C-alpha cells in the first residue's frame, strides 16, 4: 500500500482520499478513524465552564452517579449523554465498553494484562489502568489480540 501526503495552501481544501480495490473492514476502519479526528464534543469542566474538545483525545468515558464523564489527557468533562449512547454512537470510532461503567478509546489503549478472576487491566497511553470486567474480557481480548471488531 502506498501513502501519499501532499501539502495544500488552504485548510478548507483538506481531504483524505482512499483508493482501494475493495471496501473491506480495514478501509472502513481508516475512514472512521479519519472522520473521528475532526469530531468534537461539548462538555462541562470541573470548574463549570462549557468547552469543546476532540473525540480522538478522549481516553475513556465513565458513568458515575447518573452522570457521564469524558477523560482527556488534561481535563475531565461532564457530557450530556448516557453511557449506552456513547457506546453506540462511537463504536465505529474505535470506542468499546470494557465494564459496566467504562467505554474506552481503543486507539489510546497501550495493552491489556491479566488480573484476577478472569478480569484484565486496560493500560492506556496516558498511564492509567482501567479494569476490564469478566463480562467484557473475552470481547476485549478478541478486539486487542485479533486486531479488529465484530462486523455488522
Tens of pLDDT, residues 27-42: 887 887 777 677 899 9
Q: Give CA angle at 120 (82, 110), nearest 5°.
A: 80
Phi, psi of 24, deg, nearest 5: -105, -175
Which CATH topology does 18-146 take?
OB fold (Dihydrolipoamide Acetyltransferase, E2P) (2.40.50)
What is the separation of C-alpha 144 from the centre of its chain, rounded to a whole number of angstroms? 13
pLDDT of 30 reads 82
Q: What are the pLDDT digits (tens) for 84-127?
A: 999 999 988 889 999 999 999 999 999 999 988 878 999 999 99
Residue 4 pLDDT more than 90? Answer: no
pLDDT of 53 reads 94
Q: What's the pLDDT band for 152 if we cut at 50, 70, 90? A: very low
pLDDT of 146 reads 67
Q: What is the pTM of this model?
A: 0.78
Paired sense of beta strands 60-64 and 102-105, if any: antiparallel
What whole-number percentage of the chain has pLDDT above 90? 56
Residue 26's nearest CA partner among 123, 90, 94, 125 is 94
Residue 151 pLDDT more than 50? Answer: no
Mean pLDDT of 65-80: 96
Domain boundaries, the chain: 18-146
Amino acid at each position: 500500500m502506498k501513502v501519499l501526503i501532499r501539502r495544500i495552501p488552504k485548510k478548507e481544501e483538506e481531504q483524505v482520499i482512499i483508493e482501494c480495490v475493495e471496501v473491506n473492514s480495514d478501509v472502513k476502519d481508516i475512514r472512521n478513524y479519519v472522520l473521528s479526528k475532526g469530531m468534537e464534543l461539548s462538555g462541562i469542566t470541573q470548574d463549570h465552564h462549557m468547552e469543546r474538545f476532540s473525540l480522538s483525545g478522549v481516553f475513556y468515558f465513565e458513568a458515575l452517579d447518573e452522570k457521564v464523564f469524558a477523560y482527556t489527557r488534561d481535563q475531565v468533562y461532564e457530557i450530556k449523554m448516557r453511557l449506552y449512547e456513547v457506546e453506540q454512537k462511537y463504536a465505529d470510532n474505535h470506542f468499546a465498553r470494557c465494564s459496566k461503567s467504562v467505554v474506552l478509546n481503543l486507539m489510546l489503549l497501550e495493552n491489556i494484562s491479566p488480573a484476577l478472576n478472569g478480569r484484565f487491566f486496560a493500560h492506556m497511553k496516558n498511564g492509567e489502568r482501567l479494569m476490564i470486567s469478566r463480562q467484557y474480557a473475552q470481547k476485549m481480548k478478541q478486539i486487542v489480540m485479533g486486531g479488529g471488531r465484530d462486523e455488522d
